[in-house]
Structure 1
Amino acid sequence: MTALIEVSLSWLFKNAKGRDAKSFYTRPAFADFQSQDEQEIIVTAPEIGPTNSKLDVQYTRDGAGLFPTLHWEAPQHLAGQVKEWLIVSEDPDAPLPTPICHGIYTGIPATKTSVENKDFEVEDSSKALLKGGFHYGKSMRGDVYITPRPLMNHGPHRYFFQVIALREPLDPKFLSATTTREQIADAIVGKVLGWGMWVGVAERKW
């Protein structure tokens, strides 16, 4: 019965996809980077493949729900300027007015240029601190990370993993589990040095 409901919803909202224009990287903080072509940070997921690769079941809700291992690097002209990294994961193909925020991660040290699944285990929930040495904000459901689970028969969903270089650290008040995507977007205005994105794709069929 649940599958039938999902398929019905997918048919009803079949055209409710592609909210790219409301993605995190389109916010005013990214005014100097007008398009995806202006990504200065190279983000890769070596265990999965190039951007737009299919997410194996282990990276979805139907499997182990792993966070993809990501690596990134900044161009030479930004060397020494990055004070902190920020990661935002979202699904622009969900049948909602804006992309679903699957996870937002703040206070990532400038020296850290990769993350793996174990980094997202909770170290101290009272401080929203993860074992990777950084913090988590508020996803759409409040989970540390919402594992991809697109509506059945809604077609492929893209999952954006955006890495943002900041020229100064975020105010510590934003290193909280209640901090939203919108609050972070406003807080980083004037602080973005560059950004990059890796995209994973998942689909569920009946």
Structure 2
Amino acid sequence: MAQTPEHSGAAITIQKVQPFGEGDIVLTTPSLDADGHLEDRHSAYYENRSPPLVWTPVEGAQAYAIVVEDPDAPRERPFAHWLIWNIPGEATSLPEGLPNKPNLGQIGGAIQGVNDNGSVGWFGPRPPPGHGLHRYHFQIFALAERLTFGPNIPLETLVSALKGDTLTEGVMIATYEAPEAQ
């Protein structure tokens, strides 16, 4: 029987994409404490609300894509918690608690894909109890063009598109650990 790895060890999305522009995007959220710990309400153990995000604008960006992955998941590849793309190029933030539906008309037609939990939209941190602190990589990509596919594409297809369209990128790392048993 194959053993599950302690941590995936596989590359996250941002490590597979080479932007053709210069500079970095600074991505932040007010939902991190001083130690970089994501607030409980964003966890699947609690309210499972997507966190609010704010980023620096990128000149010439037609759209943004965000991928959130956990490389500390005890599986072969990082766990994808959120895939969202076609966020309008003039946007510099996302509000908290986006609905878990594929098409977000209120965000200029942004599209949310299927996460590794099998649901659409945000699936918050839910590391296994006793597995320790996990790191969540919030990766943002400024795109030269809007992407033309729907919500049911796999992460690998999104990554392939990002490889050809990314002007610049940024990453923010949040941490989360399973709550102690009550």
- Give the TM-score of the pair, scaled to structure 2: 0.85
Q: Which residue does the alignment assign to 1:91?
A: 70
Gaps of 5+ in 2: none
Q: How does 1:49-198 map to 2 (within 5 A)?
A: 49=33, 53-74=36-57, 78-79=58-59, 81-118=60-97, 120-122=98-100, 128-130=102-104, 131-133=106-108, 134-143=110-119, 144-170=121-147, 172=148, 174=149, 176-198=150-172
Q: RMSD in angstroms over aligned alpha carbons?
A: 2.3
Partner of 2:163, secondary structure, is coil
Instruction: Report deviation, 1:132.
Output: 2.7
Contact 2:142–2:168 under 8 Å retained in 1: yes
1:26 aligned to 2:9? no
Q: Which runs of 5+ in 1 are unaligned?
A: 1-11
Inter-CA distance 39–159: structure 2 relative to 1 (3 Å threshold): farther
Alpha carbons of 1:59 and 1:39: their partners in 2 closer, same or farther (altered >3 Å)?
A: farther
| Runs of at least 4 residues off by over 3 Å | none
What amino acid is aligned across from residue 26 of structure 1 in structure 2? Q
Paired residue secondary structure (2:157): helix
Distance 1:192 1:31 in 2: 5
Letter in 2 for 1:65: N
Identity of aligned residues (%): 27
Contact 1:102 1:146 in 2 (8 A): yes
The match for 1:17 among 3, 7, 30 is 7
- How far 1:167 sits from its partner (Å)? 1.2
Q: Shift in Å at residue 48 of structure 1? A: 2.2
Q: TM-score, normalised by structure 1?
A: 0.76
The structure where helix makes up a greater share of residues is 1
How many positions carry a matched residue from both structures? 175
Q: In the alignment, which residue of structure 2 is the partner of 1:5?
A: none
Higher radius of gyration, 1 or 2: 1
> Following TM superposition, by how much is the alpha carbon of 1:31 offset from its aligned partner in structure 2, in angstroms?
6.5
Q: Is the 8 A contact 2:33 2:39 kept in 1?
A: no
